[in-house]
C-alpha cells in the first residue's frame, strides 16, 4: 500500500462524510439552491488564492527539480484554469467581478487557509505535499463520482462537475499522489507523524468547508 493509500484509508470515515454531505448530494441531484452554489464560488475563489501561496512555498522548498516543476505546474493550473472557472461563473450567477475579488473568507475557510499557510511556512516539502492532498484529491474523487451521472437540468452544476472530472484535473491529482508516494522513503519518523496529522486535519477541514457552504456561514456581528 502506498503512502497516500494508507493515509486515505485511515481518513476514510471523514472522506465518506464528505461524499455524503447534503451540499454534494443536492448538487448531484440538481436541487442545490443557487444561493448556496454562489456562496461556494465566492468562498472557493479567495481560498484558491491562499492555496496558490502554499504552492509557491512548495516550489521554494526545493527538492528534486521534477518535484519543483510539478508544484509550479499546479500553481499555474490553479491561478489560471481553476480560478478562471470561478470567474466564468460570475456573469452566469449574477456575481460582480469586483465582489468575487473582494470576497471575505468565512470563519471556516479562514481557519483552513491558515492551517495550510502554517504548513507551507513551517513544514518540509513532504509536509506541504501531504497537506495539499485532501483538497486536490477529494475534488478529483468528487468529480469522478459525480461525472458518471452529471446533474441533469442544472448546467451550472454540470459544468462544475465536468471541470473536476476532466482528464486534466484527474491527472493533476494522480501526479500529486505519485509525488507523495515517491517521498515515502525520504521522510523521518517525526516528519511522517506530522504529515499524518496534516492529512487528517485537512480532511476534516474539507468536510467543514462543504458544511460551511451549505450553511452559508458568516462571521458573527456584535
User: In which residue are the cell numbers 491527472 written?
Assistant: 171
CA distances from 51 to 57, 115, 162 (A): 10, 11, 21
**Do residues 169 and 108 lie in contact, with contact meaning Cβ atoms separated by under 8 Å?**
no
Active site residues: 135, 206
| pTM (2 d.p.) | 0.95
Measure the CA–CA gap between 107 and 83, rounded to whole angstroms. 21
Q: What is the CATH number of domain 3-215?
A: 1.20.910.10
Nearest-angstrom CA–CA distance, 222 and 220: 7
Read off the DSSP letter of residue 138: H
Model confidence over 131-163: pLDDT tens digits? 999 999 999 999 999 999 999 889 999 999 999
Q: What is the DSSP letter of 166?
A: S
pLDDT of residue 221: 93
Q: Write down the domain spans for the chain.
A: 3-215
Q: Return the percentage of the chain with pLDDT > 90, whole number.
A: 81
| Mean pLDDT to the nearest integer, 90-101 | 84
Cα 173 from Cα 113, distance rounded (Å): 19
Amino acid at each position: 500500500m502506498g503512502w497516500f493509500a494508507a493515509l486515505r484509508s485511515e481518513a476514510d470515515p471523514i472522506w465518506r462524510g464528505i461524499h455524503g454531505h447534503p451540499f454534494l448530494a443536492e448538487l448531484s441531484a440538481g436541487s442545490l439552491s443557487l444561493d448556496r452554489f454562489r456562496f461556494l464560488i465566492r468562498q472557493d475563489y479567495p481560498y484558491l488564492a491562499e492555496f496558490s501561496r502554499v504552492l509557491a512555498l512548495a516550489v521554494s522548498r526545493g527538492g528534486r527539480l521534477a518535484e519543483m516543476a510539478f508544484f509550479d505546474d499546479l500553481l499555474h493550473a490553479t491561478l489560471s484554469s481553476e480560478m478562471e472557472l470561478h470567474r466564468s461563473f460570475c456573469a452566469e450567477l449574477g456575481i460582480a467581478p469586483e465582489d468575487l475579488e473582494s470576497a471575505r473568507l468565512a470563519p471556516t475557510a479562514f481557519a483552513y487557509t491558515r492551517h495550510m499557510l502554517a504548513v507551507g511556512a513551517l513544514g518540509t516539502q513532504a509536509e506541504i505535499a501531504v497537506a495539499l492532498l485532501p483538497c486536490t484529491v477529494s475534488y478529483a474523487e468528487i468529480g469522478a463520482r459525480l461525472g458518471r451521472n452529471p446533474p441533469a437540468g442544472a448546467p451550472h452544476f454540470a459544468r462544475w462537475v465536468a471541470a473536476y472530472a476532466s482528464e486534466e484535473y484527474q491527472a493533476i491529482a494522480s501526479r500529486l499522489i505519485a509525488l507523495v508516494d515517491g517521498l515515502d522513503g525520504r521522510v523521518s519518523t517525526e516528519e511522517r507523524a506530522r504529515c499524518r496529522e496534516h492529512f487528517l486535519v485537512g480532511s476534516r477541514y474539507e468536510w467543514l468547508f462543504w458544511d460551511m457552504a451549505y450553511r452559508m456561514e458568516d462571521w458573527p456581528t456584535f
